[in-house]
Amino acid sequence: MSVSDAAAIRQSRYENSTEARRKIKDGLDDDQVIISDDGQVGNPKSYPDMGCELPDYQSKNGQIFAVAKNGTEVPVGIKGVNWFGMETGLAIPFGLWENMDNGTSVYEVAAFLARNNFNSVRLPVCIKNILKNTPPEKTLINLNTNRAVNITSYMSTLKSIVEALGYRHITVMISLHTLDTKKSGGAWYSDELGVTEDQFLEAVDILTKNLCTSKYWNILGLDLKNEPHECSWGGKDPDWQKGASLIGNRMLEGCPNWMAFVEGIASSGTITLGSRTNTYFDWWGGGLTKAGDNPVELNTEHKVVWAPHYYNTGVYPAWYLYASTGGVTAAGAFESYVELGDDDLRYNVEKTMDKMFGYLAGSSDYAMVMGEFAGLYSKDAHPMKTTKRTTDFTIEVMLKAGYAGGYMWSLNPESAYQYNPADTYGTFTEGLLEDDWLTPNKVFMEGMAAMEQIKDLKRFPCFPQEVSSSSSSE
């Protein structure tokens, strides 16, 4: 063996071991490894041009369709995950700070998701960050192992993340999540937070202008506002029926290919479950009881996706998730509780989901995709695992009712919850990845595998651009 051959072998071993250190340890092989011209493995300088056209994404017949320019239609179910961080003052998805102890890279996150059949990411963003084009906090990303990520600005960072996911045929749904980096806002404008309706619409314009091209073929659309809990539906201002129609049409003016993901508000109602009749409160983002009679009105058909939220007892121990409860502490925990058996808990989850939003899955042509669900899971401290079971039954309802999929909350191990179990208030964290961002949460992963029964779950298709196409590839 020549000296040069030996050196090449040593270099190859080094690069492979370096990549292995930041790989998320799910025990699965990657069949799309990128080896750069300088020998680095899994750390591209840039991603190859996919050559995909930007599909017309449509919501009809209760499903999501990718529609090509030649008329080809491909239905795709969604096994999705939320990955947060860009909506904060740090302005970047968390976990990309690879060092000797923890953290990984966007390449490895995308590879991990693809290996485990996640085909879409909901990416929360902040309106003020968009308007200011705020660059991310540099200390939260290792640029040596994220060479393809351009952190010059907020938009360049977002583009880089979308490209990295697109290489794996993973789509992105951008959630217009927060108005301000410190406070979300309960509507699409706020005097308190200093964001006007016009500024919100300007942020939508910035996104469509920058991202509605074939280079970012994998963007499904926008979640028009996360958890508009201060809004009415068809009532007094701020009226989310009007707001969603306004924002959705503004998005379609700039990008007719995208879809409008519409959450509910946070209202209340009365429900009878067995022998109990009581008041229930929507999970924030889950209140779509009036949407059937007062729909969102967009100027283009097949563009609305219902995207409600439904959580478990880690977020709040709702009475209908228990057989009985005692008094309530100052922190909102129950002084005592009795858990339900599987059949009763499953029934209550299904009936409350149907009451809040699920009825639309059978009465509306639009697809139903859970924008957020799950939460605390493997760390559930209930003796009968009520928190975990609530999420399991949520997925069962999604499958039974023919939902087009959902985005679990969340990839991030920093995801925080307040109740565990129902009589204990505190801070409890859990995500699909463990705290080191390198170890999958085995129990949570197994629970989310149930989503692989979603109809037409597959990789999103890349429709090759026609040579004569005049579509932009910017």
For residue 188, the SS3 value is coil
Domain that holds residue 294: 3-453
Instruction: Give the closest residue to 56 by CA, choosing from 209, 167, 219.
Output: 219
State residue 471's pLDDT score.
Answer: 45
Is residue 464 one of the residues assigned to a domain? no
Residue 461 domain flag: no
Asked if the structure places residue 25 within a domain, the reply is yes
pTM of the model: 0.96
Distance of alpha carbon 302 from alpha carbon 455, whole angstroms: 19
427, containing H or E segment:
strand 425-429
- The CA distance from 387 to 28, in Å, is 29
Residue 65 sits at the vertex; the CA angle it makes with 220 and 227, to the nearest 5 degrees, is 45
Residue 470 lies in a domain: no
Residue 138 lies in a domain: yes
Strand residue runs (E) in 224-318? 259-262, 268-273, 276-281, 304-306, 309-311
Which residues are CB-neighbours of 6 under 8 A, at least 6 positions away?
none
- The tokens describing 154, both together, are 């907020």
The tens place of each residue's pLDDT in the chain, 474 residues long, gives 665 555 555 555 666 677 888 999 999 999 899 999 999 999 999 999 999 999 999 999 999 999 999 999 999 999 999 999 999 999 999 999 999 999 999 999 999 999 999 999 999 999 999 999 999 999 999 999 999 999 999 999 999 999 999 999 999 999 999 999 999 999 999 999 999 999 999 999 999 999 999 999 999 999 999 999 999 999 999 999 999 999 999 999 999 999 999 999 999 999 999 999 999 999 999 999 999 999 999 999 999 999 999 999 999 999 999 999 999 999 999 999 999 999 999 999 999 999 999 999 988 899 999 999 999 999 999 999 999 999 999 999 999 999 999 999 999 999 999 999 999 999 999 999 999 999 999 999 999 999 999 999 999 999 999 875 444 444
For residue 423, the number of C-alpha atoms closer than 13 Å in the C-beta half-sphere is 12
With b meaning 16 or more CB within 10 Å and e meaning fewer, what string describes 303-324?
bbbbbbbbbbbbbbbbbbbbbe
CA of 308: how far to CAs of 65, 95, 106, 231, in Å?
Answer: 19, 26, 27, 15
Q: What is the pLDDT of residue 5?
A: 58
pLDDT at 2: 61
How many structural domains comprise the chain?
1
- Output the pLDDT for position 1: 61
Do residues 296 and 399 make contact, with C-beta atoms less than 8 angstroms apart? no
pLDDT for 331 equals 92
Q: Is residue 156, in this structure, part of any structural domain at all?
A: yes
Answer for the pair 71, 463: CB distance below 8 angstroms, yes or no.
no
Half-sphere exposure of residue 58: CA atoms within 13 angstroms, side-chain side = 18
Classify residue 456 as exposed, middle or buried by CB count within 10 Å of its CB (0-12, 13-18, 19+).
middle
**In terms of Cα–Cα distance, which of 390, 460, 368 is closest to 169?**
460
pLDDT number for residue 363: 81
Tell me how far apart the alpha carbons of residues 370 and 393 are, in angstroms, rounded to a whole number: 14
Residue 439 belongs to domain with CATH number: 3.20.20.80
Q: Is the residue at 469 inside a domain? A: no
pLDDT at 4: 57
**Nearest to 450, CA basis, from 117, 220, 165:** 117
Q: Does 459 fall in a domain?
A: no
- pLDDT for res 100: 93
